[in-house]
């Protein structure tokens, strides 16, 4: 087999191995009907029980997707044993990379952005604002990098907002590609105005 064919198979393995664990969280919540209750992306999203449910859904797809990495790893293994060596290596490299990357997130300081603790944190904020409102008509929303009251602009907490399953305005392909590469992690932006 020529060098070009080998490189092509390696790249194909890398792409498929990386795509597989991401595909579920990219497609599972995007239907129009499942996003009716939320403002369109990229607008801030009001804190609510629906938002908390969505965070837990995104968490589930994140972990199911991670578990699904077993499929490219299995194919990669079979390919290494009795198929195309470069294709198998490609699958192993990228699917293994995704799994390691996600596991290190669990132990990192910021943690997985879709987690029970994120949902609990938002719930506590809602409870707290009910008891100690920041202004007369508090309306708490999750912006790109923080949770704020849209009325008095008080910042409640710094919390970068990850992908929440809403459809994006840009073309289907562009948004798919962006979500795939970023894994739906929050974008890092410099601090906004106070």
The footprint of Zn ion (CB under 5 A) covers 134-135, 138, 149, 151-152
| Nearest approach, Cβ of residue 151 and Zn ion (Å) | 5
CB of 87 vs Zn ion, minimal distance in Å: 56
Q: How far is the CB of 117 from Zn ion (least distance, A)?
A: 24
Rounded CA separation 45/43 (Å): 6
Using the minimum distance from each CB to Zn ion, give the nearer residue, 7 or 137: 137
Residue whose CB is less far from Zn ion, 91 or 149: 149
Please report how close the Cβ of residue 45 comes to Zn ion at its closest, in angstroms.
17
Residue closer to Zn ion, measured from CB, 40 or 135: 135
- Residue nearest Zn ion (C-beta atom): 149
- Residue among 53 and 153 whose Cβ is closer to Zn ion: 153
């Amino acid at each position: 087999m020529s060098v070009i064919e080998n490189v092509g198979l390696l790249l194909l393995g890398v792409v498929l191995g990386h795509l597989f664990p991401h595909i579920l969280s990219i497609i599972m919540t995007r239907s129009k009907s499942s996003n009716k209750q939320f403002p369109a992306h990229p607008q801030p999203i009001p804190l609510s029980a629906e938002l908390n449910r969505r965070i837990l859904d995104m968490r589930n797809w994140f972990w199911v997707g991670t578990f699904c990495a077993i499929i490219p790893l299995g194919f990669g293994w079979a390919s290494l044993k009795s198929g195309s060596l470069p294709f198998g290596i490609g699958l192993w490299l990228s699917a293994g990379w995704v799994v390691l990357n996600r596991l290190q997130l669990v132990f990192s300081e910021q943690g997985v952005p879709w987690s029970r603790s994120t949902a609990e944190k938002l719930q506590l904020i809602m409870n707290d604002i009910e008891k100690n409102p920041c202004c007369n008509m508090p309306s708490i929303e999750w912006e790109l990098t923080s949770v704020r009251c849209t009325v008095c602009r008080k910042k409640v907490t710094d919390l970068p907002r990850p992908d929440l399953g809403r459809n994006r305005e840009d073309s289907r392909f562009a948004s798919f590609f962006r979500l795939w590469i970023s894994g739906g992690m929050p974008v890092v932006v410099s601090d906004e105005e106070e």
